[in-house]
């Protein structure tokens, strides 16, 4: 009996021990995995501290598995500082910057990347310097600060192209720069230029077999094609990007692709498929805690729900997107969410709230677009300078090799060649400078002529004469009122004549003053009105200074001066396209035909140069934009085909 009891106890203990091992098995395995993970990091850390490699490629091969672990990267940085190992410190700083960027802590990310760039510059490691500049550009692009992003990517591209030879890591950095420049073109809605940059980057990624780079480029190519309305091709590119992200097991990449594919399905009205994939995108975005993609996922989901008549749920998700965008200063995400929210409120019949959100989104978009237009100009300049320097460097390198091989035989030829190069360079510099001087002189002459046309003696004399009549007739209040108006107009003309561009608001204020003064001579018979469309902020629109005065002067003196009855001039400001602001000036005068006949009968004829001068100024102003100005002058007729006035339509690029 005793033997059986002992046997029973032993069996019970064995069963309990086995059960305990079964229950604790996963935790023990995890602990062992973590221990192995820590041991591998320690071994690799010791190896790089011993070898002190300066190659980014070697650092990446040893530390890639740990670069998303902030604890490990902070430890790497501490050890690198202790041993004054600058390359490892710069690597760790960039890794930490990416970690903070992916959780939308952009200020912290910028701090780490800037310090990484300083360390790389100090140790003269070009690979790490270019990497740091590109990473800074990515962060600023995520923050919608296009100008800063463009500056950093351009610097990275310029530094990378100066290397001789260009290492494989630098080639990958060049691909990143090209890809990022393409993204900036996307923001500026220059889709063909964006595709050109993405395809250049894609070729490098294919040659180096970089799966992450291939995933990113196919995603961006899809975005550009989607913007051009090529939905089928865009979907294929997004799916290709997703396959590469699956190969490298990138959760961020999956979120991006799910959102992009979901938007295509929405546009194709495949709402069930869209809902499934967008819910997956939101789940993964919440898991990785990237606020940018969380906001994007909520926005897309809210858009879909609004389209499928789930207005309450749509409102909830879109408000979350706006809240996250506000908290992390994600302007583009906020604009998109507000636009969909406005549409959702309109569907519910809450038109006041819909209009409020639409106005907020429109105001933010105009602010960003004004900055982006300037950035686009800077982009073209930087791109030209960068490519010019690259071509010059390559040409000099090839020439240097040729000179080395023939130096002994052709010393005299070399001397003549160098002299010719110097001479041609000097001539080119002189020629370019001469062109600049000619252009500057032309612009200066235009501005001087413009000022003369605004301050012509007839206008000043007649205005003062009209004010004098008020004084003679003892109409003191009118005299003081119009004298103040006249003084303010002259001051404004003198001030704006020193500015090439002014805001549309200032231009319209100046025109009101001008018409007030001219109206004295018409016994205040002119009914002058200015109408500005809702959604247009004239403070944010630039136009050449005093560009509207010649058209108003023509309406007054050629259209209305000899007309009897009502005399009306209406100035309308509209924005029918993204490329132009449209200003129309309509009068109910006698029309151009009658006006020309009367001018022919005059004994004294004065040549008007105002309109031609204005066309030249508009031509110079439009050179800065992708579109040229457009001017139309239309004769108006009544039902009996009698002249009923003139309409000027001026499209100014923005």
Lowest mean pLDDT among 107-121, 341-355, 482-496: 482-496
Q: What would the CATH number be for the domain defined by 440-653?
A: 3.30.565.10
- Show the DSSP H helices in 83-167 as ranges: 86-102, 106-122, 126-142, 146-161
Task: Look at residue 457 in the predicted model and tell me its pLDDT.
Answer: 57
- Model pTM? 0.46
Residues of the chain with pLDDT > 90, as a percent, come to 28
Domain positions in the chain: 440-653
Alpha-carbon dihedral angle through residues 576, 555, 493, 438, given to the nearest 10 degrees: 70
For residue range 341-382, list pLDDT tens digits in order.
889 888 888 888 888 988 888 888 777 666 555 444 445 445
> What pairs with residue 631 in β-bridges?
650
Among the ranges 158-162, 457-461, 502-506, 516-520, which has the highest mean pLDDT value?
502-506
- Give the residue among 580, 594, 578 at the shortest CA–CA distance from 650: 580
For residue 460, pLDDT beyond 50: yes
- Give the residue among 268, 333, 326, 330 at the shortest CA–CA distance from 300: 333
Task: Look at residue 8 in the predicted model and tell me its pLDDT.
Answer: 45
Task: Look at residue 411 in the predicted model and tell me its pLDDT.
Answer: 67
Q: How confident is the model at residue 1 (pLDDT cuts 50, 70, 90)?
A: very low
**Element (H or E) spanning 572, and its range?**
strand 567-574
Residue 253 CA neighbour count, 13 Å, CB half: 23
- Can you tell me the mean pLDDT for 540-548? 86
pLDDT, averaged across the chain: 81
611: left (phi over 0), alpha (psi -120 to 50) or beta: alpha
Q: How confident is the model at residue 440 (pLDDT cuts 50, 70, 90)?
A: low
Contact 438, 445 (CB under 8 A): no
* Torsion sign over Cα 403, 407, 409, 411: positive
Between β-strands 542-544 and 501-503, what pairing exists: parallel, antiparallel or unpaired? Answer: antiparallel
> What pairs with residue 531 in β-bridges?
572
Q: What are the structure tokens assigned to 511, written together?
A: 């025109």
Contact 263, 231 (CB under 8 A): no
Between β-strands 526-532 and 567-574, what pairing exists: parallel, antiparallel or unpaired? Answer: parallel
CA-CA distance, 650 to 648, in Å (whole number)?
Answer: 6
Structure letter (DSSP) for residue 163: -
Task: Look at residue 392 in the predicted model and tell me its pLDDT.
Answer: 52
Backbone angles phi, psi at 503, to 5 degrees: -75, 155
- Can you tell me the mean pLDDT for 91-109? 90
Lowest mean pLDDT among 47-56, 475-484, 565-574: 475-484
CA-CA distance, 597 to 150, in Å (whole number)?
Answer: 57
Q: In b/e form, how buried is each residue of 594-612, taking b as 16+ CB within 10 angstroms?
A: bbeeeeeeeeeeeeeebee
For residue 614, pLDDT beyond 90: no
For residue range 245-284, list pLDDT tens digits in order.
999 999 999 999 999 999 999 999 999 999 999 999 999 9
Q: How confident is the model at residue 387 (pLDDT cuts 50, 70, 90)?
A: low
């Amino acid at each position: 009996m005793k033997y059986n009891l002992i046997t029973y106890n032993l069996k019970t203990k064995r069963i309990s021990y086995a059960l305990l091992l079964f229950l604790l098995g996963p935790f023990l395995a995890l602990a062992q995995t973590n221990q192995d993970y820590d041991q591998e990091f320690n071994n690799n850390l010791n190896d790089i501290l011993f070898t002190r490699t300066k190659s980014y490629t070697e650092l990446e091969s040893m530390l890639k598995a740990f670069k998303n672990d902030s604890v490990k990267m902070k430890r790497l940085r501490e050890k690198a500082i202790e041993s004054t190992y600058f390359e490892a410190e710069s690597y760790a700083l960039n890794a930490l910057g990416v970690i903070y960027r992916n959780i939308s802590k952009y200020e912290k990310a910028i701090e780490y990347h800037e310090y990484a760039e300083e360390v790389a510059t100090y140790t003269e490691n070009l690979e790490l310097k270019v990497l740091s500049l590109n990473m800074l550009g990515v962060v600023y692009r995520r923050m919608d600060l296009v100008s800063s992003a463009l500056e950093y990517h351009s610097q990275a591209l310029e530094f990378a192209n100066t290397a001789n030879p260009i290492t494989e890591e630098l080639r990958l950095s060049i691909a990143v720069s090209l890809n990022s420049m393409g993204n900036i073109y996307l923001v500026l809605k220059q889709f063909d230029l964006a595709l050109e940059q993405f395809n250049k980057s894609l070729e490098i990624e294919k040659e180096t077999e970089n799966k992450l780079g291939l995933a990113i480029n196919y995603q961006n190519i899809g975005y550009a094609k989607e913007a051009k309305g090529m939905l089928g091709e865009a979907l294929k590119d997004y799916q290709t990007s997703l396959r590469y992200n699956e190969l490298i097991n990138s959760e961020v990449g999956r979120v991006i692709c799910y959102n992009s594919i979901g938007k295509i399905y929405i546009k194709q009205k495949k709402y069930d498929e869209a809902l499934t994939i967008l819910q997956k995108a939101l789940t993964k975005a919440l898991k990785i805690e990237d606020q940018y993609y969380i906001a994007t996922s909520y926005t897309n989901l809210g858009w879909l729900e609004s389209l499928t008549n789930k207005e309450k749920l749509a409102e909830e998700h879109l408000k979350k997107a706006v809240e996250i965008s506000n908290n992390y200063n994600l302007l583009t995400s906020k604009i998109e969410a507000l636009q969909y929210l406005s549409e959702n409120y309109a569907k519910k019949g809450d038109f006041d709230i819909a209009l409020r959100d639409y106005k907020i989104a429109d105001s933010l978009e105009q602010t960003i677009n004004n900055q982006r237009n300037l950035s686009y100009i800077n982009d073209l300049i930087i791109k030209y300078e960068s490519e010019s320097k690259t071509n010059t460097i390559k040409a000099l390198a090839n020439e240097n090799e040729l000179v080395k091989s023939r130096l002994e035989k052709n010393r005299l030829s070399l001397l003549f060649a160098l002299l010719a190069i110097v001479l041609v360079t000097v001539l080119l510099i002189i020629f370019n400078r001469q062109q600049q001087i000619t252009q500057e002189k032309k612009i200066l002459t235009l501005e001087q002529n413009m000022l003369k046309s605004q301050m012509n003696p007839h206008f000043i004399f007649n205005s003062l004469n009209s004010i004098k009549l008020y004084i003679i007739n003892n109409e003191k209040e009118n005299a003081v009122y119009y004298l103040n108006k006249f003084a303010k107009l002259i001051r404004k003309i003198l001030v704006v004549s020193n500015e090439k561009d002014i805001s549309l608001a200032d231009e319209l204020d100046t025109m009101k003053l001008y018409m007030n003064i001219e109206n004295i001579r018409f016994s205040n018979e002119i009914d002058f009105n200015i109408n500005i469309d809702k959604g247009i902020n004239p403070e944010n629109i630039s136009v050449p200074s005093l560009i509207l005065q010649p058209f108003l002067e023509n309406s007054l003196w050629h259209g209305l001066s000899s007309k009897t009855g009502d005399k009306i001039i209406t100035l309308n400001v509209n924005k029918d396209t993204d490329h132009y602001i449209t200003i129309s000036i309509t009068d109910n005068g006698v029309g151009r035909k009658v006006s020309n006949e009367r001018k022919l009968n005059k004994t004294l004829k004065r040549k008007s140069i105002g309109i031609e001068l204005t066309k030249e100024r508009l031509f110079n102003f439009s050179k800065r934009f992708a579109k040229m100005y457009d001017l139309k002058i239309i004769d108006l007729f009544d039902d009996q085909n009698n002249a009923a006035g003139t309409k000027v339509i001026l499209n100014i690029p923005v």
